[in-house]
Structure 1
Amino acid sequence: MSENESRPVVVGVDGSPASQAALRWAVEDARRRGCAVDAVSAWHADYGVMIGPLPAEVFAEVTPQALKAAAQKVLDRAVQGFEGVEIRRILVEGDPRDVLFNASENAALLVVGNRGHSRLVEAILGSVSAYCVHHASCPVVVVRELKVEQERPAAEPAVSLTPGPLL
């Protein structure tokens, strides 16, 4: 076995459809390589969005322990049903960009999903996949979320519409 085969395929998992597609891709690639998959999920408490006093019930749901437990549940649910390859579940507190960057240091490959947000949303929120592509220590595969097109009924012939009075 070569050095590359003993290193895992690392995949970012957050429970989104894009990350599920990335996980499927990573599992298939790991099968071909004969290595394990490290399913990595990041969680962190972001209290910056909370304003004002909170009811005790709400506060109990945003404790670090509750957030970690919720993230663990998402990770466990995401990796269910995959067979034929070892999947190690790794839950880390921190920013997803930093967590995946650190995981890439010992990886054969890093696989991340891309939700296809608009450029404006990515400029405001940042893009984990773009960060990984530019900073990871190993090759990176970005798997785009599949968009399922709804079947449209047969359209009637288009009628040309005038947008308003022409002056």
Structure 2
Amino acid sequence: MVRKYKRNIGVRRYRDYTDENLEEALQKVTVNEYSLRKAASEYGIPFGTLYNKYKGLHVRKVGHPTIFSAQEEQNLVKCAAVCGDWGYPLSKEDMCFFAKNYLDNKGRTIPYIADNKPGIDWVDSLLERNKTEICKRVAANIKRARATVTLESLEQYFKNLKLTIEDVPPSNLFNYDETNMADDPL
């Protein structure tokens, strides 16, 4: 199965026109300025396409319909984004199980999907359709110096911490780091 189909130019005339040209041709046919045949030849649009658009035939999108409606997809994307905000980003496999769980809870069975679980290609197309809201990211690695903390240094840290907070009541302990500290007060 081809995952990223790239059409060879000139092999078959398919969509060699823009949506603006199609709308302009339809407008001229509607106001009786051009006939369907003249508009088709003038704008380089196949006659059958122009006829179908004029008569309102074949108005559905080309290709197989999506598993979820647009609203359901938006809800799945929002939930995945919330998981990422909470610090638990979803992998592609997690997104597949997320969608399977949703379908199972709704009681919907998709006959052409094995075990009612969409595949990785579905996740790729979902990400492509919603690239402004959600995207795939790679985890950031920490520096080697931070990763090479020894057991002795950790034990020494906790010994010093125990001595430091020995007489401090637990209600006076706060978690604090340098995140909001600025060197420049302006």
Q: Same fold (TM over 0.5)?
A: no
Judging by fraction of residues, say which structure has more helix.
2
Judging by fraction of residues, say which structure has more strand.
1
> Shorter-chain TM-score category?
under 0.3
Indicate the structure (1 or 2) with the bigger Cα radius of gyration.
Answer: 2
TM-score (norm 1): 0.21
TM-score (norm 2): 0.19
